[in-house]
Amino acid sequence: MSLPLSKYVWFDGKFVTTDKAKVPITTHAIHYGTSVFEGIRAYWNKKNLFVFRLDDHVKRFRRSGQFYNISLNFSDKEISDAIIGICKKNKIKKSCYIRPFYFVGDYGINLHVTEKAPTNVAIFSFPFGDLFNKNGITAGVVSWRKFSDTSTPPQAKMGGNYLNSIIATQEAKRNGFDEAILLDHSGNVSEAPGENIFIVREGQLITPPLSSSALEGITRDAVIKIGKDLDMDVLERDVTRSELMISDEIFLSGTAAEITPIITMDGKKIGNGKPGNITKKIMDEYLDIVMNKNDDYSHWLTPVY
């Protein structure tokens, strides 16, 4: 899928046109997946462009590389300024997706990556709407399991980690589903390939714990906070596969997916086959927040202009 990239990207501290942002074929990340990335949304509300939870994304951006001793050789402020700057440089005045990433560069085939290994940093952006149908999608549990801390850190947003997501997505698509659900090594629900998962049962909002190998998602954290502020009973606990089938509502959360209802699971209709009341309430609250219509959460937004 070709992306409608904006004219300028940020590459190693400079704004350059996309054709100037090139790397050699000996780039380590191409061979071994030694790249770190974030997905960030910015929302245009007809008055300004607002980056959602910028500080939290930048903090996780650096932390992910620390798991592997991969150095981010720019300060958090420099990265934040570059993210805002790429929006300004491209004069973006529509909702967009921003992808910052850094990676081990010209390092040959050496597997001993240290803090001294050369790294490159890039940031690009493109207009972005809905990833999924907001009226609801189908999902199914796949046979592939989510990797765990016994093999590689689930909390690191590394390029190589997402091969697990790719193979799960391929299986789900072959089975006729819009999205996959992965189980952890204990057989409990973990997450989707690029999203966290929530279920609703008897008025309780429930999501698997981080011990299920689920990513500590920034949107996941937002949903938990929103739910509690709405006086919902929010729980982080193990969710069995069979519990998905008897849930009143299910939805996914993620930067790209935002809040996406699941209306059928493994071919079985969830609830009445439409987004449930709690899901719709979370969706509405989330949209108001990112569009700067809720002063209680304005600290989550960074204006670009």
Query: DSSP class of residue 20?
Result: G
**Does residue 157 have an active-site annotation?**
yes
Catalytic position from the list 157, 173, 225, 228:
157
**DSSP per position, 245-286:** HT-SEEEEEETTTEEEEEEEETTEEPTTSS--HHHHHHHHHH
Q: Which residues pair with 255 in a beta bridge?
A: none
Number of helices (H), then strands (E), belonging to the chain: the values are 7, 17
Residue with tokens 């509300």: 45
Describe the crossing of helices 54-66 and 218-229 by its angle, rounded to 10 degrees. 140
Q: Are 250 and 197 in contact (CB under 8 A)?
A: yes
The encoded tokens of residue 138 equal: 């189908």
Of 212, 168, 229, 232, which Cα lies nearest the Cα of 194? 168
What 3-state class would DSSP assign to 152? coil
What 3-state class would DSSP assign to 282? helix
Instruction: Dump strand ranges (E) for 105-243.
Output: 119-127, 137-145, 179-183, 189-191, 196-201, 204-207, 233-236
Question: How many Å apart are CA 86 and CA 9, to the nearest integer?
Answer: 7
State the catalytic residues.
157
